[in-house]
Each structure stands twice: as structure tokens, then as C-alpha cells.
Chains A and B, each alone.
Chain A
Amino acid sequence: MARRYQSKLTWDDVTPEHLYLNRRQIMAGTGALLGAGLIGGQAQAQDLEPNTWEAITTYNNYYEFGTGKDDPSRNAHTLTTSPWSIEVDGMVDNPGTYSFEDIMDGMTVEERIYRFRCVEAWSMVIPWNGFELADLLDRIGVQDGARYVAFETANRPDEMPGVRVPVLDWPYREGLRLDEARHPLTLMATGIYGREIPNQNGAPIRLVVPWKYGFKSIKSIVRITLTDEEPYTSWNAANPREYGFYSNVNPEVDHPRWSQASERVIGGGLFARREPTLMMNGYEEEVASLYEGMDLQANF
């Protein structure tokens, strides 16, 4: 079942292609950018102005293509995204190798304009196109007892200059609790601004979990595994003190090396003011129930 999350925004609300390709377009405040039924409070009160195509596709963290923000846009063209397949294994009824086309067959692709908050304390607003991960989980048949979903990014030294340096223990891996994975906000994105997702943004298919720091939204996925144990996640393994398994956006829990209380909104230029960071990146009402009774300071 798709369309669990309804946005009032249509493509008329997003910057027209001929404009966003050229310059930053000021969005008229519609006041209702995020959906009606599910959403309220903070999220609704904000007018989300999507970043330009240029900002979204030239300022990226994708360390497989280099650690500089402009490295992915310069280097990622070498990634072969077609053919593409995803290995599905673990506690599923229908394991196997799914081609990209198999996966897309029958999926409802929706537009979702989400905030994107990087753990480095910058943020963007991105108009994604994608389907709900829950739909894919239904397709592959999650077995009883499975509690987590693990993901893996492609690891191709021939196509990815960055993996020759052990910045992280490649391949990049991420994971979600099953209820987080099934949440209607959790998206498998295949496009931005109605176009195919560029390589530097995680082509051909990536995860988007808008209430978590960006590194949880793993790119260029080649493997999905259902498991009953908390899976290995790359940043958490690299530095467990700095990057928790949950990594929910939380202005009250600082990164040990910098504050998470505010963020720099990309696109404001040299004299942009910092903005306060919102609890769960502004999606608190939608996701708070997932973490009821949990100590968010301890489970950061």
C-alpha cells in the first residue's frame, strides 16, 4: 500500500525546471508543504523552500568518490548504474537478486519534499521522488522475528576512487530498526526534481530517512538484509562515541566535536544566519511514537 503519507505539495509548488536550473527560486509560502492528516505543528508551520538543483547535486558527502564536498559531483560519473541489482537476503520469504527494474515494477513513485540535515550541521530541502521502503519490505516478505534492516552500498574500487583510501571500513553499511524502516516517511529514492537521481546523490536507488542525520540515508544500495540483531553500521563502527546507531536529529545531543543545536541552511550565501535545529529534524510528531520511553540521550 503506497501513499500512506500525503503531501499537499504538487509539482506546481516546486521550482520549475527552467528556473531552478538557472537560479535560486523563491518559493511562495504555501504554508502547507507537508501533508495534512499526518502532519502538524512545526513541520506545517514552516515554508520549505527546496534547494536548487545545483546545490543538491554539487555539495555532497559520498566518501566513495572523495571526501571533498565537490568530489562526488566530479568523480561519480564513473559509476555504472545500469544494469543494477540488489541482493535481498536474511530473514525474508523471497530472497534473491532483484534487478532495478524488478524492484521498480509496481512501485508507486511519489514526490516528497523533505528536510535533509547532515551530522556536520548543515541542511538542505530536497524534493525527492521515490517509493516507501515499507512497500519493498512487503514484496520481499519479512519473516517473523526479523527486527532490523541492514543496507550496503556498492564497493567498486575501479569506479570509486575514494574506496582506495580506508576512510571507513568499506563497503559502507547502514541499518534501521524494522519499525523505522516501515515508517511511512522512510523512502527509497530514485529521483530528485522529477529527474533520475544523479550518481553523486546515490544513483540509482538510495534510502532517505528524513528525521535522521544524512549518513543514515545510505546511497547506491546493492544489498538489503533482514536480521534479528542490530546490524553493523559504518560510522557507528568507526567512532561509536560520535555516531550512534539511531542518529536521530536532536538539537539537545551534541556531536562530541561540535554543537547540533543549530544548522547552516545551504543556499543562503556568505552571510546566511544559522537556523535552530528542530527535534527529529521537524518530524517529531510523526516519529515520536517510535521512541516512546527511550532515553534519547543514551540512544543517540
Chain B
Amino acid sequence: MSATARINATVRRVPGWVLYVVGAAYAGWLFYLGATGGLGVEPIEALEHRYGKIAFQLILVGLAVTPLRQHLGLNLMCWRRAIGVLAFFFVLAHFLVWAVLDVQQISAMWADIVKRPYVTIGMVGFLCLIPLGLTSNNWSVRKMGAAAWRKLHRLVYPAAVLGAVHWVWLARGFQLEPLIYLAVTLTLLATRFRTQKARVA
């Protein structure tokens, strides 16, 4: 059995709820570390950045599911919903740490959202993901119809780009890491659009 086939078989055997448990436990573990000094002397920023980065990585993994299957025959399809829901969960955690522990005031939050472009686009990206989080269940797919559901879930494309720009914009000076993430995001989206075009033609 090839490595790809072995991975595919494993993915089929491990149900999605295992990923939810692992993801939630990891988020809780990071929070515990933050509260007990394990994230360094400035845990608020550390936790905010960790949650945000994990959310972004999960969005990228979610976007990679289709190209991985098409180009490498690697099938993570039955994990895709769990990956997407966990990404939303970590974005929500990132937002809550920002709102409750970092900014601490509704008025200051609103001022930041209105005045600071990197916060504005982060918020827009978050808003894009809310309907996706709410409709990530079989009932919604049936109710909406598969075509409409798929169309709605294309909101993850702008959300991914907004998330990447949010990070690039936040960095001081010329920093490589966020730019690498932006490049990966654009590459993943480009493969997707190329495939779609090819299909239409």
C-alpha cells in the first residue's frame, strides 16, 4: 500500500469529532499556559497571536484539501468540515482574546475597528466566516441545496486573503513570516481558480 493510500485509510478511520476534541483541548491548554506563565511575561499578546496563527494555518489546510486530492491523490475530504469549523473556533478565540483581554473596552474596540485598517479587515474577514461556521452542518446543506451552500462557502477565499493582509499590515518593518503566509494563501487560491477555469473550458 502506498503512503498516500495509507494516509487516506487512516483519515477514513479517524472520525471528525476526534479533531474537535484535540482542537478544543489544544486551545484550552494554550489558555492554561497563558494563565500560568507558560507563554512568557506577556501572555495576552502571546495568546492572541497563537490563536490567530493557528486559525490561519487551519484555513490554509482547509484550502489545501482540494489541490492535495487533485494533484497528489491525498484525500482529507472527510476531515474538511472539522478543519473549517476548528479554524472558525480559533478565529473566534483570537477575536475574544483581543476584545476581552487586550482592548478591554467596547468603545476602544469600536474605535480600533473604525480607525485601524488592519483591525477593520480582520473584522471583515471574521464576519465572512460567521455564516460559514453557522452552516457547517448537514441540515444547512440540505436546506440550502448543495449549489447554494458551495457558493456561500466560497467566502473563505476573501476571508483567507483578508486574514493574510491583516497580519502583513500589523507587522512593524519588513518581516518575512506574514509575507510567506500571504504568498501561500495566494498560491492556494490561484491553483483553485486555474482548475475551475480549466473545468469551465
In the bound complex, do residue A259 and residue B112 qualify as a contact, i.e. CB atoms below 8 Å apart?
yes
In the bound complex, do residue A257 and residue B169 qualify as a contact, i.e. CB atoms below 8 Å apart?
yes
> Chain A interface mostly helix, strand, loop or mixed?
loop
In the bound complex, do residue B174 and residue A270 qualify as a contact, i.e. CB atoms below 8 Å apart?
no
Residue positions of B touching A, CB distance < 8 A: 31, 34-35, 37, 40-45, 47, 101-102, 104, 108, 111-112, 115-118, 169-176
In the bound complex, do residue A69 and residue B174 qualify as a contact, i.e. CB atoms below 8 Å apart?
no
In the bound complex, do residue B101 and residue A271 qualify as a contact, i.e. CB atoms below 8 Å apart?
yes
Interface presence of A290 (CB below 8 A): no
Within the complex, what minimum Cβ distance (angstroms) separates A76 from chain B? Answer: 16
Interface presence of A267 (CB below 8 A): yes
- Among A39-68, those with CB < 8 Å from B are 51-52, 54-55, 58-59, 63, 67
Interface stretch, picked from A30-38, A92-100, A128-136, A165-173, is: A165-173
In the bound complex, do residue A168 and residue B173 qualify as a contact, i.e. CB atoms below 8 Å apart?
yes
Contacts of A167 in B (CB 8 A): 173-175
Find the B residue at minimum CB distance from A262. Answer: B108
A27 to B156, CA, bound (A): 51
User: How does the 8 Å CB contact mask read for A253-276 relative to B, with 1 for contact and 0 for none?
Assistant: 010111100101011011111100
One of B40, B41, B43, B175 near A67 (C-beta < 8 A): B175
In the bound complex, do residue B42 and residue A122 qualify as a contact, i.e. CB atoms below 8 Å apart?
yes
- Among A126-156, those with CB < 8 Å from B are none
A169 to B175, CA, bound (A): 13
Apart from the given pairs A70-B40, A165-B176, 14 other A-B contacts in the complex at a CB distance below 8 Å: A55-B41, A59-B42, A67-B175, A69-B40, A120-B172, A122-B45, A167-B174, A256-B116, A257-B118, A259-B108, A259-B111, A262-B108, A270-B47, A274-B104
In the bound complex, do residue B40 and residue A264 qualify as a contact, i.e. CB atoms below 8 Å apart?
no
Interface presence of A296 (CB below 8 A): no
Interface presence of A2 (CB below 8 A): no
Contacts of B34 in A (CB 8 A): 270
In the bound complex, do residue A264 and residue B44 qualify as a contact, i.e. CB atoms below 8 Å apart?
yes
Contacts of A262 in B (CB 8 A): 108
Known contacts A258-B116, A259-B111, A274-B104: does B173 contact A266 (CB below 8 Å)? no
Contacts of A19 in B (CB 8 A): none
Interface presence of A103 (CB below 8 A): no
Find the A residue at minimum CB distance from B116. Answer: A257
Contacts of B116 in A (CB 8 A): 256-258
Known contacts A258-B112, A258-B116, A259-B108: does B42 contact A266 (CB below 8 Å)? yes
A167 to B101, CA, bound (A): 29
Contacts of A165 in B (CB 8 A): 174-176
- Among A148-200, those with CB < 8 Å from B are 165-168
User: How does the 8 Å CB contact mask read for A231-267 relative to B, with 1 for contact and 0 for none?
Assistant: 0000000100000000000000010111100101011
A271 to B37, CA, bound (A): 12
A46 to B43, CA, bound (A): 25
In the bound complex, do residue A238 and residue B47 qualify as a contact, i.e. CB atoms below 8 Å apart?
no
Contacts of B40 in A (CB 8 A): 58-59, 69-70
Find the B residue at minimum CB distance from A264. Answer: B44
Within the complex, what minimum Cβ distance (angstroms) separates B37 from chain A? Answer: 8
Within the complex, what minimum Cβ distance (angstroms) separates B114 from chain A? Answer: 12
Within the complex, what minimum Cβ distance (angstroms) separates A203 from chain B? Answer: 20
